Amino acid sequence: MGTKTKQTMKNTTPAIEDTITKSKKRTRKVSEPKPQPALPVGDIEDFQFREDEVKEISTSLLKWYDVNRRDLPWRRINDSDDTDRDRKAYAVWVSEIMLQQTRVQTVINYFNRWMEKWPTVEHLAQASIEEVNEIWAGLGYYRRARFLLEGAKSIVEEGGQFPRSLNDLRKVRGIGEYTAGAIASIAFNEAVPVVDGNVIRVIARLRTISANPKDKTTVKNIWRLAGQLVDLSRPGDFNQALMELGATLCTPLNPNCSSCPISTQCNALLESKQNPSMVVTDYPAKVAKVKQRRDFSAISVVEIMEGEEGSGSKFLLVKRPEEGLLAGLWEFPSVLLNGDEADLVVRREAIDDFLKNSFGLKLNVIEREEVGEYVHIFTHIRLKMYIEHLVLRSQDLCRKKGKEEMFYKYVDMKTLGSMGLTTGVRKAYDMVQKFKQSRSSLLKDSL
């Protein structure tokens, strides 16, 4: 990279804070994550983009995007001749919320089902949280779905028109800086940046930024650099192109530099050619993963037998608290086991106490069997679930009043099959059904 002076810098973007660090040449390659000391920057212009660089990157990236962009349903809506900007903004909003921490291929079917059921923000505002969770089931991070519903209701309450600017969009519950930037640039052509993990990686490699990509100050500075790059005439396409590049070519472990449209502007690639000890994947810095907490829970799939041979049986579902993990979702009765593995006796005692204390259930047990274990992974939690099938005689529930009101309901098998249940709850139910089928087959074989 050539020498630059302040006289050549015409970009008016505010100066990047001096906590981003430039990498230093190393004599050997280290496989462990490298510590990133917060060293002051000697020449901040080394990070900012020159005016000619901005033009080259924008031209090359948009040309590549026009040819290689993936055909996605939300893009079709925005590319259509329809002049309804609200509809386009709504499609961007839904897709971006779904895409957070979820693979694109997974999102496509969910997006199509969602838009078929609620084609506009007005339709969504009339939905219930149960209906929303039913469509969302399996995508995880259910708070995202709740924020979509609450945001839609607030937009309709304010008159029904989608906010047009970045600042107004950020006032909507559940719409943060990233989502607001995506909607503003893609739907309303506002020249604002959008920064996700893909964009952080691309810019870190373009400028050889060696800093913790999770650090708030680093992210803030990347946003400023992204703001320098945004194409003024096609901001939405440019932002999508930058994210698309990171998702398809400039990947974390195996970047396809030979096909990259902006490889000639990439300092990380240039550095790797000049110094064999350096590789493109050194950028951004490797961050040690947060150690997952290990939790254990007892799950009881409670079936209440009402008719002969179980013809009228129903299942007991309990609603989780409105705050915290999986807030407001329905599940089978479950008890957290104080962070430790527990034997069968302890697990059953915990479930019995929960059912008696919460609902006054008399445990007139017809059948009780352990059906298996299942490990469900959340972002920072590894939850091991011990699953049992508990069949009780028909009885009235007498919900006991405590500090927190416990919501519950009985549902039949047909209703249960159509509900929007979490992956863990669905897995517990499927394990019970598989166990019952297996036992039935064994009984037939023994006759």
Catalytic amino acids? 96
- Measuring CA to CA, which residue among 90, 54, 60, 62 is closest to residue 74? 90
Which residue, chain included where needed, has tokens 């394990």?
431
| Side-chain half-sphere CA neighbours of 447 within 13 A | 6
CA–CA distances in Å: residue 175 to residues 28, 144, 233, 270: 44, 10, 24, 38
- Measuring CA to CA, which residue among 244, 273, 275 is closest to residue 261? 244
Task: Report the DSSP pairing between strands 381-393 and 293-305.
Answer: parallel
Q: Residue 372 — φ and ψ, nearest 5°?
A: 150, -175
Distance of CA 5 to the CA centre of its chain: 42
Q: How wide is the angle at C-alpha 420 spanned by C-alphas 414 and 118, nearest 5°?
A: 115
CB atoms inside a 10 Å sphere around CB 12: 6
Strand segments, DSSP code E, in 135-217 are none
Peptide bond into 14 cis (omega under 30): no
Query: What is the spatial distance between Cα 388 and Cα 297, in angstroms, rounded to a whole number?
Result: 11
- Measuring CA to CA, which residue among 314, 320, 308, 282 is closest to residue 425? 320
